[in-house]
Amino acid sequence: MKVQEYMLKALKDAVQMEVEGRQFYLEAAKKAKSPGVREIMEYLAESEKYHIAKFNEVYRSLEKDPSWTETIAAFKPPQHEPYVCVMAMTKDEQGSGGDDDLQALKTGIKMEECSIDYYTKLAKEATNPLA
């Protein structure tokens, strides 16, 4: 498989992972009993929107021209309140969500860890330092 084909496939996979993550977070936010857990899930779902848009942007760019540029490599997610997750966990009624909320948080953490592992693997395989 050519490098460009490999990168395009990896980007398609990345978009799919982010879409599935966003769907999970939105569903978990709807079901969350704890306001803090709901806020965290909504924040993560919103973050995935940027990731999806960025990966699609990179995909379209590399599909036309396989060379990486500083612009396409730039990753500037939207600014958010520092410590948004910590602040969400200090809300009143924290701990009221029970096992379902806890499981949603654990699943979300695992999904993010898997994404990080996948992107780290791709970065190590990249021959272009901008990739």
pLDDT tens digit sequence for 55-101? 999 999 989 888 888 888 888 877 776 667 767 766 655 555 678 89
CB 60 within 8 A of CB 15: no
Please answer whether residues 28 and 108 qualify as being in contact, where contact means their C-beta atoms are separated by less than 8 angstroms: yes
Q: What pTM, to 2 d.p., does this model score? A: 0.82
Instruction: Go through 58-90 and write b for each residue having 16 or more CB atoms within 10 A of its CB, e for each that does not.
Output: bbebbeeeeebeeebeeeeeeeeeeeeeeebbe
What's the alpha-carbon Rg for the chain, to the nearest Å? 17
Range from 25-39, 69-83, 114-128 carrying the lowest mean pLDDT? 69-83
CB 68 within 8 A of CB 11: no
- Positive or negative: CA dihedral 16, 66, 73, 131: positive
Structure tokens that stand for 65 in this block: 């021209």
